[in-house]
A and B are shown apart, each in its own frame.
Chain A
Amino acid sequence: MALLDRHAASRDAYQAIRQASADPFSVRFDSVISPTEGVINGQRTILLGTNNYLGLTFDPDCIEDSVRAVREGGTGTTGSRIANGSYDGHVTLETALKAYYNRRHAMVFTTGYQANLGVLSSLVGRDDHLLLDADSHASIYDGARMGHAEVTRFRHNDPEDLYKRLRRLKDAPGEKLIVVEGIYSMVGDVAPLKEIVAVKREMGAYLLVDEAHSMGVLGANGRGLAEEAGVEADVDVIVGTFSKSLGSVGGFVVSDMEGFDVMRVVCRPYMFTASLPPAVVASTVTALRKVQETPALRHKLHANAKHLYDGLTNLGLATGPNCSPIVAVTMPDQAVAIGMWNTLLQNGVYLNLALPPATPDNRPLLRSSVSAAHTPEQIERVLEVMEKVSREFGLLKDEPKRALA
């Protein structure tokens, strides 16, 4: 057996998708010209699947600070912080995160994936228990797998189910760490955090919230779902990313836990990888300041999300349970999902094709992520194209609501 034969089933599935038309997992942009627009095959395309919630990737101040940092500090750090030391920027960024979240400890990772990998594999160990929401991101599952704690899943967004599973573990030795996400990445639904906090308190567990998709999006100061739900004091650990609202790359963890700094010498995904380069750190520091100083960005984001969510729902498409900057439409089957995705792209709209098992309930999704930088005209154009294409694929039965120019 050849080494890659073990992946035969995945290879065949991938081949079938590619034969249907353009390859949804290898889209190539000729260029990306703004947070909301790119060029694909010479055609200007609206970007509606890039998690660029606040549109800060082209913010002039972020760019200027990034350029200055690369000139002053070079293109890379060429090593990890425990081996090569920290740059001033790493410390500045961690200080800014501590101040923003009002927490005693902050640690920066090279990616959001590594932040989850590191925290979940190091914070709990043998005889401890991880309780993961069933719809958790792959990085949470992988972090759980890398560590030595026993792993139990609970039904998605179901505090009673969590309670039941914690009750079964009440006589088991070791600590319990509950892991949830602020906004779930596939359909944009939000964790019932107040209820989960109540369970955590009653059962004596710790709580970690991954705010990857909710940082900069929820809360009066953009700190995420914990802030919005008013339960920050009950959240022991917050994990997040720089690659969405902050428009760069990297991950972080903040906590008030006594002695948290020991993580810097036990957490392998922190220790054994090169640290973030100066240019990335600099734009991230500036973006974090913008998130705090510019609540208007969040207001614009939510107005755009509502515009798209209401528009798609009114068309009669199967949108998710609540309006959020992630707007997903459930597709009847994979063939329609792939066909729709391709036709949307041909009509200048790029969004994400999400296929099982990465989706809840084994249903294919067309997943959009809205940005504060989208104009109302862009959203309107997307709605026109969606209506036209949905009608072509037989998803809409009633009379046209919009005329496509």
Chain B
Amino acid sequence: MDLITNPTVLEVARAAEVVLGRSVHVTAASDISRDLAVDSLALMNIVMELEDRFDISIPIDRLSEVQTVGDLSSLIDNIRNKA
């Protein structure tokens, strides 16, 4: 398995574990729906958890562009850089 070095990806994994109540193993390339078996509602709950971890607002209308963990992590990094 790839070693995860991106701290945002790690936070996404931790947030997913909190929401899903199970351990998850992800890389930036993991497909959120297929590899993590996350439905749209669970994804929105993961986003809520991430908003609190980073103290930012992640509009859920932006999730249409998110397919992989890397996409979500880039979206978070973009929002944080703009803040």
Residues of A within 8 A of B (CB): 129, 134, 144-145, 149-153, 155, 164-165, 168-169, 172, 356-357
**Nearest Cβ on chain B to A263's Cβ, whole angstroms:** 22
Nearest CB in chain B to that of A169: its residue? B57
**Nearest Cβ on chain B to A121's Cβ, whole angstroms:** 12
**Nearest Cβ on chain A to B10's Cβ, whole angstroms:** 22
In order of increasing CB-CB distance, the 10 nearest A-B pairs are: A150-B59, A357-B41, A168-B57, A151-B60, A151-B61, A151-B59, A169-B57, A152-B57, A357-B39, A153-B48
Please give, as numbers and ranges, the residues of chain A lying within 8 Å of B62 by CB-CB distance: 150
Q: Is the CB of B61 within 8 A of A150?
A: yes
Nearest CB in chain A to that of B41: its residue? A357
**Nearest Cβ on chain B to A132's Cβ, whole angstroms:** 9
Cβ < 8 Å to A, chain B residues 29-67: 39-42, 44-45, 47-48, 51-52, 55-62
Nearest CB in chain B to that of A166: its residue? B57
Q: Which listed residue (A152, A155, A164, A356) contacts B59, Cβ 8 A?
A: A152
Q: Is the CB of B48 within 8 A of A155?
A: yes
Please give, as numbers and ranges, the residues of chain A lying within 8 Å of B55 by CB-CB distance: 168
Q: Is the CB of A153 within 8 A of B61?
A: no
How many A-B Cβ pairs are below 8 Å? 38
Known contacts A134-B45, A357-B41; A153 and B57 CB within 8 A of each other: no
Most chain A CB inside 10 Å of its own CB: which residue of B39, B51, B55, B59: B59
Q: Which listed residue (A153, A164, A169, A357) contacts B60, Cβ 8 A?
A: A153
Please give, as numbers and ranges, the residues of chain B lying within 8 Å of A168 by CB-CB distance: 51, 55-57
Cβ contacts A to B, 7 pairs, < 8 Å: A152-B51, A153-B48, A155-B48, A165-B51, A165-B57, A168-B57, A357-B40
**Nearest Cβ on chain A to B52's Cβ, whole angstroms:** 8
Please give, as numbers and ranges, the residues of chain B lying within 8 Å of A149 by CB-CB distance: 61
Please give, as numbers and ranges, the residues of chain A lying within 8 Å of B51 by CB-CB distance: 152, 165, 168
Please give, as numbers and ranges, the residues of chain B lying within 8 Å of A165 by CB-CB distance: 51, 57
Q: Is the CB of B44 within 8 A of A152?
A: no
**Nearest Cβ on chain A to B75's Cβ, whole angstroms:** 13
Instruction: For the complex, give the distance between the alpha carbons of A358 and B62 in Å.
Output: 22
**Nearest Cβ on chain A to B53's Cβ, whole angstroms:** 13
**Nearest Cβ on chain B to A320's Cβ, whole angstroms:** 20
Please give, as numbers and ranges, the residues of chain B lying within 8 Å of A153 by CB-CB distance: 44, 47-48, 60
Instruction: For the complex, give the distance between the alpha carbons of A164 and B42 in Å.
Output: 21
Instruction: For the complex, give the distance between the alpha carbons of A169 and B83 in Å.
Output: 11
Please give, as numbers and ranges, the residues of chain B lying within 8 Å of A169 by CB-CB distance: 57
Nearest CB in chain A to that of B55: its residue? A168
Please give, as numbers and ranges, the residues of chain A lying within 8 Å of B52 by CB-CB distance: 164
Instruction: For the complex, give the distance between the alpha carbons of A287 and B78 in Å.
Output: 53
Please give, as numbers and ranges, the residues of chain B lying within 8 Å of A129 by CB-CB distance: 59
Other A-B contacts than A150-B59, A151-B60, 10 sampled, CB-CB below 8 A, are A134-B48, A145-B61, A150-B57, A150-B62, A151-B59, A152-B51, A152-B58, A165-B57, A168-B55, A168-B57
Please give, as numbers and ranges, the residues of chain A lying within 8 Å of B44 by CB-CB distance: 134, 153
Please give, as numbers and ranges, the residues of chain B lying within 8 Å of A145 by CB-CB distance: 61
Instruction: For the complex, give the distance between the alpha carbons of A144 and B57 in Å.
Output: 16
Instruction: For the complex, give the distance between the alpha carbons of A169 and B52 in Å.
Output: 13
**Nearest Cβ on chain A to B22's Cβ, whole angstroms:** 12
**Nearest Cβ on chain B to A40's Cβ, whole angstroms:** 31
Nearest CB in chain B to that of A155: its residue? B48
